[in-house]
Amino acid sequence: MKVPVITIDGPSASGKGTVAACVASRLGFHYLDSGSLYRLVALYADRVGIDWDDEPALARAALTLPVAFCDGGVLLDGNEATEAIRAEHIGIGASRVGALPAVRTALMQRQRDFRVAPGLVTDGRDMGSVVFPDADLKIFLTASADERATRRYKQLIDKGESANLPQIRQDIIDRDQRDAARPVAPLRQEPDALLLDTTALTIDQAVEAVLSWFAAKSSDC
């Protein structure tokens, strides 16, 4: 039997990861944060001295990267990497390595392997368009650049880190442009994806919207 998949794609700092993880937990499904794989490739490259433009070396690393997901965290080569992959410069590196076709191909099967019963909720940029084109429900989750910058700013301040709101806003806009302009798997709303604009929604409201769409789709079958 086909294992159900819900894909939630959208721009950076839109809250799609939080919404996707909550939906997965409410349904008892597995959860894949595909961005973490791109971030892990960038972090690994940074640590071992592979340039973020060295496509063949990055693709080889992406194929064999020793990663493990457990208890909401991630290990790289057996070492805790949950916080390290969230650093701003690693996000920029992830966007650089994610623009390389050979890296995307290398990560394809690793992502598909997460499709295990009873179901999967996944978030990223091309989950519905490329990795799981037959997904049961596809969502494009977004929010205004101002709202996303403010959310990211608050997250950093809450963690006790210094943050500069205009700089964060500019980084978000630059990253969106790079993700949308690349020739492979660009960031965009596909025709078969439902738009969920969370600018004025709470996380709970966004989660409920996804769950009700999924319930409606499931009752159609």
Q: Which residues bind ligand C5P (CB under 6 A)?
A: 12, 34-35, 38-39, 91, 94-95, 98, 124-127, 175, 179
Shortest Cβ 35–ligand C5P spacing (Å): 2
Shortest Cβ 61–ligand C5P spacing (Å): 15
Task: Decide if 111 contacts 131 (C-beta within 8 A).
Answer: yes
C-beta closer to ligand C5P: residue 37 or 209: 37
Q: How far is 40 from 104, CA to CA, in rounded Å?
A: 13
Tokens of 70: 């457990």
Which pairing describes strands 79-80 and 73-76: parallel, antiparallel, or unpaired?
antiparallel
C-beta closer to ligand C5P: residue 42 or 209: 42
For residue 195, CA distances in Å to 10, 104, 137, 140, 209 come to 10, 25, 11, 5, 11
Annotate 90-119 with b (16+ C-beta within 10 A) or e (fewer). Answer: bbebbbbbbbbebbbebbeebbeebbeeeb
Tokens of 115: 């499709």
Angle at 214 between CA 208 and CA 217, to 5 degrees: 145
Residues linked to residue 79 through DSSP beta bridges, in sequence order: 76
C-beta closer to ligand C5P: residue 51 or 218: 51
C-beta closer to ligand C5P: residue 94 or 206: 94
Shortest Cβ 155–ligand C5P spacing (Å): 12
C-beta closer to ligand C5P: residue 4 or 91: 91
Shortest Cβ 156–ligand C5P spacing (Å): 14
Shortest Cβ 122–ligand C5P spacing (Å): 8
Task: Decide if 67 contacts 74 (C-beta within 8 A).
Answer: yes
Shortest Cβ 215–ligand C5P spacing (Å): 26
C-beta closer to ligand C5P: residue 112 or 218: 112
Tokens of 183: 């020739």
